[in-house]
Amino acid sequence: MTIKNDTALENTVAEGVDLDRVNEQGRRKLLVIDDEPDTVTLLKQILLREGYDVAGAANGKEALGKMAEVQPSLILLDMMMPEMDGWQTIDKVQEISDVPIIILSAMNQTDSIIKALQMGADDYITKPFNQKEVVARIESVLRRSGNRKKLDRIAVENLGLVLDLDTHEAFLNGKSIQLTGKMFEVLYMLIQNAPRLVPYQELTEKIWGKDSPAIRNRLKYLVYLLRQEFESVGAQSNIIDNIGRLGYKINSH
C-alpha cells in the first residue's frame, strides 16, 4: 500500500489516547476499521497527534463489538475487508447508531463512491490519502453532525431484550429488570457477542480481569441470578444457554 507523506504535523494540541490500550472519558473518539494493520497504525498516529482518542478494528464484525464500549464520534471505514465488508458494516452500524461514517478506501470507481454516499456515508476519501486532508474531512463531518445521537442502547430484537448503556437498565418485553453492575456486564457481553458462544475464560478475564475456579463460580451465580430475573418478568424460554460446559450464549433463535 502506498500512502502520501506529509511533513510532520505540528503538535499544537494535547495528544489523544489509543483506546485499544486505555479508555478515557469525555474526549472525541474515533473508530478506524481496516483490515490492514499498517493503515490502522498510521491513522492512529495521525489522529492521536490531533487530540483524538482512537480505537481500531480489523473488520466490521469486530467494530460492532467495540462500538458500545468506545461510543465513537465518527467512524473511518475501509470497504474491502474479510468477514464483514464495508457495505455490510454501513448497514449494521446504521441499525444501532447515527454515528457519522467516512469511507477511506482504495475503491475509487465513481459508482462505488455514489453507492456509499447513498447508503448514508458522510464522506469518501480514496487511498492513497493525504494526512492533512483526512484530518480536515473529519473535522468538517464532525461539525456537520454535532447533534447526532450516540449509541445508547443494544438489543436482541426477537427476544425483546434491551440494555440501556447510559442508565445500565435492562428491559425484557418492555418490563424493567433489576441488575447489579456485574450482572449488567455479563449480559452486555453476551448480547454484544450474540449468537456466538462466549467461553468462560473470555467472560471472566474481560469482566474481572482474571480467570480462576472461584471467579467462574461467581460467573455461574450471576447467570443464575439473571435467569431468575428473566423468569420474574415472564420469560418463556431459556435466554442464556450453557453450551457443553464451555461457556454461555444468548439463545436468540
pLDDT in tens, 8-21: 444 445 666 676 65
Give residue-wise pLDDT tens across range 54-86: 999 999 888 988 887 788 999 999 999 988 889
Type of residue found at 47: L
Average pLDDT, stretch 137-141? 92
pLDDT tens readout for residues 197-252: 999 999 999 899 899 999 999 999 999 999 999 988 888 668 999 988 899 999 87
What are the pLDDT digits (tens) for 163-172?
Answer: 887 778 888 8
Q: Which domains does the chain have, with CATH numbers?
A: 29-144 (3.40.50.2300), 153-250 (1.10.10.10)
pLDDT of residue 164: 83
pLDDT in tens, 16-56: 667 665 545 456 899 999 999 999 999 999 999 998 999 99
pLDDT recorded at residue 143: 87
Q: What is the pLDDT of residue 2?
A: 45
Whether the bond into 213 is cis, omega within 30 of 0: no
> pLDDT: is 151 or 223 the higher one?
223
> What sign does the CA torsion over 126, 127, 133, 136 have?
positive
Overall average pLDDT of the 86-108 stretch = 89
pLDDT score recorded for residue 156: 81
What residue has cell string 435467569?
227
pTM over cut 0.85: no
Give the span between the Cα atoms of 25 and 37, in whole angstroms.
25
Using CB atoms within 10 Å of the CB of residue 118, give its burial: 0 to 12 exposed, 13 to 18 middle, 19+ buried: exposed
User: Using an 8 Å Cβ cutoff, are 242 and 222 in contact?
Assistant: no
Which pLDDT does position 56 carry in this prediction?
94
